[in-house]
Structure formats: structure tokens, C-alpha cells
Amino acid sequence: MITPIDSFDPINFRHFLHQYPELSHHERQTAALICQQLRQFGLAPKTDLGGHGIVVKFDSNNPGETSLFRADFDALPIHEQACHHYASCHSGIMHACGHDGHTASLMMVAKYLCLHPPITGKVLLLFQPAEETGTGAAAMLQEPWLAQQHIDNVFAYHNLPGYPLNTLVIKPNTFACASTGVTIELFGKTSHAAKPEDGLAPTLAMTEAIKLIQHLPEQFPDVFTLTTVVHASLAATAQGETGFGTAPGYAKVLATLRSDNSHTLFAMKSLIEQQIAALCQQEQLGLEVSWQEWFNAAVNSQPHCQQVIRQARLLALPVNIIEEPMRWSEDVAEFLAKWPGALFCLGSGEQHPQLHNPDYDFPDELIATASQLFCALIKDKHSNVSEMAVD
């Protein structure tokens, strides 16, 4: 699968990635493949940044800005439903979000820069692991070498089903929401089902906890907030035992909280903790609350949005400037919090299967579109007067 620069085929490269997906924090083979391909191009990538992260730098050795372009490469714990020849070989794991396509797009940019290096400044191509868990970017930024870079521009894209193919979707300020998952565990006391009064069932408290979560957005009327209960269960104990003869002594509720800004999400987190704690004190229940997969809001710079829009229009791409942020979250938010830039989307097709679905597959046509737009931004930022064709 590793090929020299003159015969590199990004579609075959993506298909190979798609066949061998790896979950967040376990992307060892994927990272090795990316590094091998970069080395085949004659490059010397920095590896193992924040786990399996990779960065390759193109330095003109002339004054100028420094631009960072990011792609992600982790997969999801979803069983693929597909008939194509490159379907996942790893049962229960698939590229259901298009990170294989994002990586292939950035690899095309690497190929382009090998043939047409920047004339001013520096360009960094960053391949990020663990995007799906919201931990990969922060882990990479803990690496001193990366954290000490003086980045002027950050650009990243995500494919987006539901919009016409190749359409630029962009918004200044908050582009993707902040979000977090919460797990609430309620501990009571079991009893025989014929004598429920001898126990302490968390059934009513679980119902009240769900209501508190569902009504939480009413406490923040002036900003966008959303709560979604994704799981609720009762059992005898935390080990999950159930039986018709036993009244429950344990309950578990999982939910996702979202907002268009990180400060509000922090406030939502604090309020739900207070309200659930008060509920459990009243019901004399034990309580454990834990938080998972925290994502800050991805906030775009207005000038960088305009730069992306200008280059997209020069490439004759349709442009859709949306008014409301995406409800999903993106880990590139950590880079955008440190350095200015823009996250944008490219439409995958109005009828294309949705992200995180078992029938999803990244549209190969987007690889050329994304890489051409990235390369146009590089030419604009780094005075690259070489021919712009992306082979």
C-alpha cells in the first residue's frame, strides 16, 4: 500500500485505511502506515506526539506565517454494514465518520508540498489520533515541541452528509458545539420484590433525575443548550443483576449535554451536579457522577473564515454560510483555542448516509476537493507561485 510519490493514489490509500480501522488510543498500525507513506515521499515526520500523533513540517527557511492543517484518523466501535470490497476487516470497528477520507486528503497535501514547497513561512501537516474521545488534540498539545510552535493559521475540515457534494459549509465564531457525556449512578438497597418497603429503590429518583436533565436547558434561555438522555436502567446492583423477585437497589442514567459555548457547558455541568446531589440527599441514596468525552466549542476566527470562503469561490465551490453552529463537537477545538483558524465542512451529498451510521462511507470525490482547497489556502498564505494542480 505504500507507494512512491509519482504513483500515490489517495483513493486506494483511503480504502486501505478503511479496511483496517482502529479505535481511539489504539491507532498504532494506522499511524505506522501514515508515517511509512510520508517517508516514502522523502519526508521525516515527528511521531508519537500525544500518543500516536504525527506532524510533518515544510519549512521554506524564509520569513512568513506558519499554517497548520489537521486531519484525524481514529475509527468508531460500530459494526459496518457494507458490500464494497474495502469493508472493515475488524469486527465491530469501522470508519463511520470519514476520518479515513480526511487523512487521505491531507496526504494529498503532503504530496503537493513535496512537489511545490512553500516559498515563505512554514506549513505543518498534523495527523491527529483520538478525536472521537475528545482527548487527542489536548494530548498532542502537551508535547513541548508542538505547544511551542508559533502558529498563525489552523485549518481543518469535516465531511458533512445532508449537504450537496463539495459544498463549503462554514460559520464564523462558534462552528461546532461544546459537549460532554455524564454518567449518574444511584445507590439504594435491594429487597424482595414482595417486600419493596424493606429496601430503598432508586426508581423514582431515576425518573426525577431524567426530568432534571431534560429540563436543564430551561435554566439557560439566552443561549443554545441541549440535553439528551441516552440510557437509563435499573438493576439489583451495579453488576447489573435483574430478576422478578428482586426490587432494584441501583440505577444508572447516561446523558449528553451540549451548548454553543464552553462556559455555558461548565455551568450546566455544575448545576446538574448540584441538583442531582440534592435529589439523592432527599431520597437517602448514594451517588456517583462521572464525566466523559469533554469537548470545548470549536470557535472560528472571522478573518480565517473569509479566507476559506474566498478560496472556495475561486475554486467554484458552492458556499453555504450557516447561522447556527453544528450540534456535534470536534476536537480540533483545542487547537483553535490556542491558535486562530477555521474548521469547516464539505458536503458529502444530500442523500448520503449520516455520520456514525453502519452504512456510512466517505465519498472519494471529496478527497480532491478538500486537498485542492487546502492547497489554495497554502498558496494564498505562503506565496507559492508554482502551478496549483493537485496531481
Q: Are residues 223 and 252 in the same domain?
A: yes
Q: Are residues 305 and 187 in the same domain?
A: no
Whether 115 is covered by a domain: the verdict is yes
Q: Are residues 63 and 116 in the same domain?
A: yes
Q: Are residues 194 and 284 in the same domain?
A: yes
Q: Are residues 256 and 310 in the same domain?
A: no
How wide is the angle at C-alpha 171 spanned by C-alphas 169 and 172, nearest 5°?
150
Q: Is 371 left (phi over 0), alpha (psi -120 to 50) or beta?
A: alpha
Whether 390 is covered by a domain: the verdict is no
Q: CA nearest 374: which of 118, 14, 177, 1? A: 118
CATH code of the domain in which 236 resides: 3.30.70.360
Q: Are residues 29 and 129 in the same domain?
A: yes
Q: Are residues 80 and 171 in the same domain?
A: yes
Q: Is 280 annotated as a binding residue?
A: no
Q: Is 288 annotated as a binding residue?
A: no
Whether 389 is covered by a domain: the verdict is no
User: How many angstroms separate the CA atoms of 325 and 171, rounded?
Assistant: 7
User: How many angstroms separate the CA atoms of 213 and 211, rounded?
Assistant: 5
Work out the pLDDT band at 1, boundaries 50, 70, 90: low
Whether 189 is covered by a domain: the verdict is yes
Q: Is 84 annotated as a binding residue?
A: no
Work out the pLDDT band at 386, boundaries 50, 70, 90: very low
Q: Is 231 annotated as a binding residue?
A: no
On whether the CB atoms of residues 168 and 315 are closer than 8 A, the answer is no
pLDDT in tens, 268-289: 999 999 999 999 999 999 999 9
Residue 195's domain comprises 181-295
pLDDT score, position 3: 81
Q: Please give the average per-residue pLDDT across 154-161, as a whole number.
A: 98
Q: Are residues 129 and 192 in the same domain?
A: no
Q: Is 356 annotated as a binding residue?
A: yes
Q: Are residues 19 and 110 in the same domain?
A: yes
Q: Please give the average per-residue pLDDT across 11-37, as a whole number.
A: 98
Q: CA nearest 260: which of 340, 214, 327, 322? A: 327
Q: Are residues 128 and 195 in the same domain?
A: no
Q: Are residues 105 and 208 in the same domain?
A: no
Element (H, E) at 214: helix 203-215
Last residue of a domain, one of 261, 295, 329: 295
pTM of the model: 0.94
Whether 391 is covered by a domain: the verdict is no
pLDDT score, position 388: 42
Whether 120 is covered by a domain: the verdict is yes
Q: Are residues 56 and 193 in the same domain?
A: no
What domain count does the chain have? Answer: 2
